[in-house]
């Protein structure tokens, strides 16, 4: 590691280490190090670059917009912001028609929770026990997968809901399968027992990403919505990673026919640039405004990232990338399924579209953690960047999310490298 990295950079990951090498440039589905190595990027940057790196239309938009209008006083409006708000509303079911634009997913979730608390008059928030919603105060307090120890009290009134994990079920039926309805009922029985009568919101991802790529069972989201509305809570869906075609639909909630009260987008909306959104109904926006909703930030509704968001929508719609994500996702899961048949260490392959989880299972969890880290290193040596989730009590789950612009050859090459890495490490 170069001396300036060790000497000058704050380490911001719990594991402390940065990835080896310094990245010099990126293009398409690959990143290139200063020493000339190519890495196939199966995480789309930080699960964001859905159009790949340095997409020519994104590059052109940034150049043109930065030369014309990049930043304004936060109370001023620009044409890119107005266009993006209208166009996003057109992709969404009623009554989601009001939008504000921010920089990060944590910021969007912070704003959504602040709005929900103001509108409902409550302060209590429910989220999954393996959630990740961000590192700012309210978002971090609703995050349970990491980062809770050593920082003092979380925001009062946060409750964890059991994760409906079909591979590692907590509550099972007579056949040994996940009984998610009974689990959900029990979860809310415990929440009701702890609540002081001030429930405001439930914030969840339709597919838990940092929680191990857990796709909510069909029917779960509708049942969760009903639990929320029975208690006067708002349902907030965090589609930072699942929104905008990643799962094969424009939004992951569309599969279940459930419309959230508030939707947050980030990562995929800017295709790698810092852009996030909060979307809600006219009625919720009116109530929030009437009660003095305040979320005035330096880069709220900035024109440059909004222009990028408009270009992202152009490319997604024109190139049919929702369909492309379904097709490539089937190819990816099929290839990984073939690996599972030959590598006993693979416990499960799951996911939707181009958000796929490959879980290493069996044996002692500590051994699986070591194996996962070794496979990650070997993949990098062979030219593939992978990310593995390691949570207490679980094995290691690779989060695989290539750009939606990947080709079949790149999907196949990634699967082949995973195959070789597993062979090398387990030999």
Catalytic residues: 132, 205, 238, 241, 267, 399
The residue behind tokens 């040994």 is: 176
Nearest Cα residue to 158 out of 193, 194, 132? 194
Tokens of 369: 């953690």
C-alpha count within 13 angstroms, C-beta hemisphere, residue 404 = 31
Nearest Cα residue to 326 out of 237, 378, 420, 255? 255
Give the integer Cα–Cα distance in Å for 128 and 131. Answer: 5
Q: Which spans in 282-407 are helix H? A: 282-290, 303-318, 321-342, 365-382
- Is-contact 402 51, C-beta < 8 A? no
Give the integer Cα–Cα distance in Å for 391 and 103. Answer: 28
- Is-contact 265 279, C-beta < 8 A? yes
Give the integer Cα–Cα distance in Å for 181 and 171. Answer: 9
């Amino acid at each position: 590691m170069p001396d300036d990295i060790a000497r000058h950079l704050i380490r911001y990951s719990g594991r402390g280490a940065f990835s080896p090498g310094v990245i010099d440039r990126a293009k398409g589905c690959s990143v290139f190090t200063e020493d000339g190595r190519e890495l196939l990027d199966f995480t789309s940057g930080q699960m964001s670059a859905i159009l790949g790196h340095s997409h020519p239309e994104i590059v052109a938009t940034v150049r043109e917009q930065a030369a014309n209008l990049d930043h304004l006083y936060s109370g001023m409006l620009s044409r890119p912001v107005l266009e993006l708000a209208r166009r996003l509303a057109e992709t969404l079911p009623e009554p989601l028609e009001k939008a504000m634009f921010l920089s990060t997913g944590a910021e969007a979730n912070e704003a959504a929770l602040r709005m929900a608390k103001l509108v409902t008059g409550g302060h209590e928030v429910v989220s999954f026990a393996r959630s990740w919603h961000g590192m700012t105060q309210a978002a971090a307090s609703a995050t349970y997968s990491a980062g809770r120890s050593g920082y003092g009290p979380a925001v009062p009134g946060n409750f964890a809901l059991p994760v409906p994990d079909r591979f590692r079920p907590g509550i099972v039926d007579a056949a040994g399968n996940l009984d998610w309805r009974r689990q959900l009922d029990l979860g809310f029985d415990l929440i009701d027992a702890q609540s002081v009568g001030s429930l405001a919101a439930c914030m969840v991802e339709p597919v838990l990403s940092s929680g191990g790529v857990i796709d909510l069972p069909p029917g779960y989201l509708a049942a969760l919505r009903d639990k929320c509305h029975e208690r006067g809570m708002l349902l907030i869906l965090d589609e930072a990673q699942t929104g905008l075609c990643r799962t094969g639909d424009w939004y992951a909630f569309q599969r279940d026919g459930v419309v959230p009260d508030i939707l947050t987008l980030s990562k995929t909306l800017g295709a790698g640039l810092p852009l996030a959104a909060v979307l809600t109904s006219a009625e919720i926006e009116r109530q929030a405004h009437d009660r003095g909703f305040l979320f005035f930030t330096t880069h709220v509704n900035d024109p440059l990232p909004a222009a990028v968001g408009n270009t992202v929508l152009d490319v997604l719609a024109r190139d049919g990338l929702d369909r492309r994500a379904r097709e490539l996702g089937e190819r990816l899961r099929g290839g990984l399924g073939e690996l599972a048949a030959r590598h006993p260490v693979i416990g499960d392959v799951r996911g939707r579209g181009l958000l796929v989880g490959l879980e290493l299972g069996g044996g002692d969890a500590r051994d699986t953690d070591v194996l996962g880290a070794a496979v990650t290193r070997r993949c990098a040596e062979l030219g593939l960047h992978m990310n593995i989730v390691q949570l207490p009590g679980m094995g290691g789950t690779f989060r695989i999310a290539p750009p939606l612009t990947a080709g079949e050859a790149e999907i196949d090459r990634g699967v082949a490298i995973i195959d070789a890495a597993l062979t090398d490490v387990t030999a």
